[in-house]
């Protein structure tokens, strides 16, 4: 075995079968090393150049670029901004000509608009497939309006981009033109407020291959989605527990015949979704979570308009009726409580309309988890008991049938 | 092609570099794009498919991964994720490198991803000397050359200890 060590450190197999002192990582093919380095922040990737000669130029063709201003050393100041900008420019100019698969740029503080524009243009020129621009940021960004240059850069039509994640929180203004991304399959936008309604509608209309649309921290009066190939739609309304704005109804109109999964969450916010959809024949999974409204506890907040509140249970029920064709419907407990509360406190006459909903038994509150009702699934006995004592089942046509059968069997 | 219906329940035999044979259900083998392409192009008429680069220990691991992923329904993503993280948990580096090479050769994207991620996590946030030691990377720069590389990429080191 020792004879193998002729040339510095080469393969050394010990008798136990364990390999030691063998530089396995450096002998991996470039493609695997690129894959490994794709999981690492670009600063660390460039730093691997000092490991050995094998690593000197590896970083220049790693397909993922991951730039995080917050993780860059130093506290936020002009010097750090300059250092970061220099770093980014060096990376972009020294990289080889290979394509970029994923480009990630994150900062929670203001970055020079030209730098952002350079990044986007670079990514598009290198056939980027996934672009993430400050994806997990909240409202601390210091942009006051959608920077013109960013808008301009995103206005470039990219035929390679498949997935775009963009947080718009602190942009006072949406981009002036809808995005033109014909290959786009996944669009995730965060922080879209009222001005964005048209942008979303037009962008979704432009992106005919769109399969997944996720809107986080949504704050819109109306949302019109017409997407023939859309399969997944997730709407998460702005979750703001210290808001003192007034309640508003958010009209959601969906035309997506291929939709299989729909998720709606409106927690603690002040948006009351009003949903209407053309037929959704493919719907498989529905998840609706609406937060309890307990205005008594928040005297200081604007209690919603009485008329809006009166309409609310009806609107929620209509939505659930339209989604009732799904194979699986998961209702957050709070949904029941929303109705329970409003029905009991604000809209007692709804109790007399059996086509809408029965009264909600207090006993259902015993369920701490979501209630999932699936076709052909056995109903837990506690739920059956609760249902017997209330009439929760009337929400869903199919589920009702199932539940009725189950009750008859008993 | 007439036998395509029977093929659904067909098993195939894979042979590792050290001669061990593994009988695998076809739907499990289909997790590998390499095997899928071989089956599609009907190269599978051979009784035994040799995998000369993959030893028995590694192949057993790979097939365990494929079986789990082939058998789990799509609604069990959470379960698969926890399986994936358990799968590599206590694996030594040697086995991990064998696995990453096997996943690359057999074109099993999911496995390649988790194995690459695991290696990446080991490199991440560590000083170079430590990375060199963990992976036995031999520093073939002269001190002058290493200093030159550092200088060349100074913009990536500023602010780091």
Strands annotated E in A122-231: 130-133, 163-167, 186-190, 212-218, 222-226
CB atoms B101 and A73 under 8 Å: no
Q: Which residues of A touch B132 (CB under 8 A)?
A: 51-52
Report the distance separating Cα B143 and Cα B150, nearest Å: 11
In this model, does residue A205 exceed pLDDT 70?
yes
Measured distance CA(A264)–CA(A250) in Å, rounded: 12
Structure confidence at residue A64 (pLDDT): 97
Q: Which two tokens stand for residue A307?
A: 């008329």
Instruction: With beta carbons less than 8 A apart as the criterion, state whether A95 and A51 touch.
Output: no
CA angle A247–A251–A255, rounded 5-degree value: 160
Instruction: Please state, rounded to an integer, the average pLDDT across all residues of chain A.
Output: 73
Task: Enumerate residues 6+ apart whose C-beta is below 8 A from A65.
Answer: A42, A91, A95, A100, A102, A103, A104, A123
Of B124, B136, B153, the CB nearest to A21: B136
Answer whether B156 sits within 8 Å of A43, measured CB to CB: yes
Chain B: residue whose CA lies nearest to A79: B159
What is the model's pLDDT at position B1?
40
Q: Is the pLDDT of residue A251 over 50?
A: yes
pLDDT above 80: residue A347: no
Residue B97 contacts A where some CB pair is shorter than 8 Å: yes
pLDDT under 70 in chain B at which residues?
Answer: 1-9, 42-46, 73-75
Residue-wise pLDDT for A50-67, tens only, equals 999 999 999 999 999 999
Chain B residue at shortest CA distance from A20 = B136
Going across the sheet that includes A222-226, the strands are A222-226, A248-255, A271-277
Do A28 and B100 count as a contact with CB atoms less than 8 A apart?
A: yes
In DSSP terms, A13 is beta-bridged to A19
- Residues in chain A with CB shorter than 8 Å from the CB of B93 are 24
C-alpha distances in angstroms, A78 versus A70, A85, A110, A114, A133?
A: 14, 10, 11, 15, 21
Give the predicted TM-score (pTM) of the model. Answer: 0.80
B interface test, pick of A35, A38, A70 with most B CB neighbours within 10 Å: A35
Nearest-angstrom CA–CA distance, B84 and B103 = 14
The predicted pLDDT at position B9 comes to 62
Torsion, Cα A251 A255 A261 A266, to 10 degrees, reads -10
Mutation target vs B (from A14, A26, A29, A50; most B CBs, 10 A cutoff): A50
Q: Is B135 on the interface with A (CB under 8 A)?
A: yes
pLDDT level of residue A218 (50, 70, 90 thresholds): confident
Per-residue burial over A299-336, b if 16 or more Cβ lie within 10 Å, else e, is eeeeebeeebbbbbbbbbbebbbbbbbbebbbbbbbbb
| Full 3-state SS string of A139-152 | CCCCCCCCCHHHHH
Tokens of A287: 């998840």
Model confidence at A210: pLDDT above 50:
yes
| Closest Cβ–Cβ partner in A19, A51, A87 for B156 | A87
Using the Cα atoms of residue A193, residue A196, residue A201 and residue A203 in order, give the sign of their dihedral. negative
Token reading at B85: 């993280």
Q: Is the confidence at residue A252, as pLDDT, over 80?
A: yes
Of A23, A36, A90, the CB nearest to B120: A36
User: Which of A39, A83, A90 has its CB closest to that of B120?
Assistant: A39
Q: For residues A305 and B96, which has the higher predicted lDDT (pLDDT)?
A: B96
Nearest to B94 among A19, A35, A39 (CB): A19
A99-120 tens-digit pLDDT? 999 999 988 777 777 888 889 8
Measured CA angle at A324 (ends A372, A393), to 5 deg = 60
Dihedral sign for Cα atoms in the order A69, A74, A78, A79: negative
Query: Nearest 5°: phi and psi at A113?
Result: -60, -35
Which ipTM did the prediction report?
0.90
Beta strand A102-106 pairing with A130-133: parallel
């Amino acid at each position: 075995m020792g004879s193998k060590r002729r040339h510095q450190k080469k393969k050394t197999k010990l008798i136990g079968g364990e390999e030691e002192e063998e530089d396995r990582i450096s002998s991996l093919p470039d493609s695997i090393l690129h894959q490994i380095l794709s999981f690492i922040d670009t600063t660390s990737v460039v730093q691997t150049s000092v490991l050995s000669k094998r690593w000197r130029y590896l970083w220049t063709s790693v397909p993922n670029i991951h730039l995080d201003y917050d993780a860059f050393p130093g506290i936020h100041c002009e010097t750090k901004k300059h250092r970061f900008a220099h770093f980014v420019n060096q990376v972009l100019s020294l990289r080889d000509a290979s394509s970029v698969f994923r480009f990630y740029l994150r900062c929670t503080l203001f970055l020079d608009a030209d730098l952002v524009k350079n990044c986007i243009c670079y990514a598009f020129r290198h056939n980027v497939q996934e672009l993430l621009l400050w994806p997990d940021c909240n409202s601390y960004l210091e942009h006051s309006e959608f920077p013109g240059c960013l808008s301009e850069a995103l206005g470039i039509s990219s035929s390679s981009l498949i997935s775009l994640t963009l947080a718009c929180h602190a942009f006072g203004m949406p981009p002036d033109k809808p995005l033109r991304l014909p290959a786009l399959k996944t669009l995730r936008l965060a922080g879209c407020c009222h001005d964005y309604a048209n942008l979303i509608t037009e962008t979704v209309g432009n992106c005919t291959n769109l399969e997944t649309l996720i809107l986080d921290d949504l704050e819109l009066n109306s949302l019109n989605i017409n997407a023939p190939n859309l399969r997944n739609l997730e709407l998460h309304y702005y979750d703001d527990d210290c808001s003192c704005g007034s309640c508003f109804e958010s009209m959601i109109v969906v035309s997506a015949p291929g939709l299989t999964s729909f998720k709606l969450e409106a927690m603690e916010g002040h948006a009351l979704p009003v949903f209407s959809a053309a037929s959704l024949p493919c719907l498989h999974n529905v998840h609706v979570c609406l937060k309890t409204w307990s205005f008594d506890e928040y005297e200081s907040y604007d209690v919603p308009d009485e008329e809006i509140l009166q309409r609310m249970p009806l609107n929620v029920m209509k939505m659930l009726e339209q989604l009732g064709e799904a194979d699986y419907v998961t209702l957050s407990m709070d949904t029941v409580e929303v109705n329970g509360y409003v029905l009991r406190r604000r809209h007692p006459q709804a109790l007399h309309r059996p086509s809408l909903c029965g009264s909600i038994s207090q006993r259902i509150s015993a369920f701490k988890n979501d209630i999932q009702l699936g076709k052909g699934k056995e109903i837990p006995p506690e739920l059956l008991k609760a249902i017997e004592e209330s009439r929760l089942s009337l929400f869903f046509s199919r589920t009702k049938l199932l539940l009725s059968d189950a009750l008859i069997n008993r | 092609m007439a036998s395509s219906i029977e093929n659904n329940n067909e098993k195939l035999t894979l042979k590792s570099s050290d001669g061990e044979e593994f009988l695998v259900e076809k739907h499990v083998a289909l997790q590998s794009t390499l095997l899928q392409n071989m089956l599609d192009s009907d190269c599978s008429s051979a009784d035994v498919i040799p995998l000369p680069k993959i030893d028995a220990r590694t192949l057993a691991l790979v097939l365990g991964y494929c079986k789990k992923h082939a058998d789990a329904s799509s609604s069990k993503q959470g379960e698969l994720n926890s399986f994936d993280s358990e799968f590599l948990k206590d694996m030594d580096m040697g086995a991990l490198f064998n696995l990453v090479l096997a996943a690359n050769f057999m074109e099993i994207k999911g496995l390649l991803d988790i194995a690459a991620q695991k290696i990446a996590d080991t490199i991440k946030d560590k000083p170079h000397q430590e990375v060199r030691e963990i992976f036995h990377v031999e520093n073939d720069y002269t001190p002058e050359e290493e200093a030159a590389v550092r200088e060349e990429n100074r913009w990536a080191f500023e602010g780091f200890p």
